[in-house]
Amino acid sequence: MYEVELKVRAAHDEVRPRLDDLGADDRGKVIQEDVYYDAPHRDFAETDEALRVRTESDDDGTTTKLTYKGPLVDDQSKTREEAETAVADPDAARNLLAGLGFEPAATVRKERERFAHAGYTVTLDSVDGLGEFVEVETETEDDLDGARDGAREILDTLDLDPAEQIQTSYLGLLLAANGDAHQ
């Protein structure tokens, strides 16, 4: 499965009315805390991979997922192969990773407002230490070009410029903002 994502900086107060005009379905707000890990056997910054434990809280409670993100597959979007699974016991997952030599590298915290439109998720992200962003994403088995084109169309409809997309992850942006060479 591939996650196709386009991300731009944008003021949320300007985007919300446009989402209303589109008739996008409000999927609610969540708080996510992503703890990213360094691997003992290779440098994820060099291989453009990521391993994280995400804790997500909303009105329905808290869930935790373990996610692997492969390297970017193109230079036109933030498209990556992704594997993710729910974690029943977050402490056990963290202990398992520590036991295998994986060490926490950084934490990214964000508040997200999620909307659904035309098979895409449009997310208004407020990222601690970085500011406001809009992401448009979907998953696909094999139609990367079609998924990318659809995401660009949604950005256009929201009066956001797809050419201003940011392909660097929030982790990479946060590390760069903090002057950390480990990206």
Domain 2-175 in CATH: superfamily?
Hypothetical Protein Pfu-838710-001 (2.40.320.10)
Active site residues: 36
Do residues 27 and 116 lie in contact, with contact meaning Cβ atoms separated by under 8 Å?
yes
| Residue-range domain boundaries for the chain | 2-175
Residue 183: the pLDDT is 40
* Helix/strand/coil (H/E/C) assignment for every residue in 57-69: EECCEEEEEEEEE
- Torsional sign, CA 78, 79, 81, 83: positive
Report the distance separating Cα 22 and Cα 157, nearest Å: 8
Tally of CB atoms within 10 A around 89: 10
Q: List the structure tokens of 176.
A: 């760069």
151 Cβ contact list (under 8 Å, min separation 6): 4, 5, 6, 77, 120, 136, 137, 138, 162
Tell me how many degrees the CA angle 30-34-38 measures, rounded to the nearest 5.
170
Q: List the structure tokens of 105.
A: 């590298």
6: exposed, middle or buried (Cβ count in 10 Å: 0-12, 13-18, 19+)? buried
Report the distance separating Cα 57 and Cα 44, nearest Å: 27
Residue 179: the pLDDT is 79
Residue 47: the pLDDT is 93
List per-residue pLDDT tens for the chain, 183 residues long.
Answer: 888 999 999 999 999 999 999 999 999 999 999 999 999 999 998 998 999 999 999 999 999 999 999 998 877 777 889 999 999 999 999 999 999 999 999 999 999 999 999 999 999 999 999 999 999 999 998 899 999 999 999 999 999 999 999 988 899 899 899 876 444
- Torsional sign, CA 46, 49, 52, 56: positive
Counts for the chain of helices (H) and strands (E), in that order: 5, 8
What residue type is 168 in one-letter code?
A: T
pTM comes to: 0.87
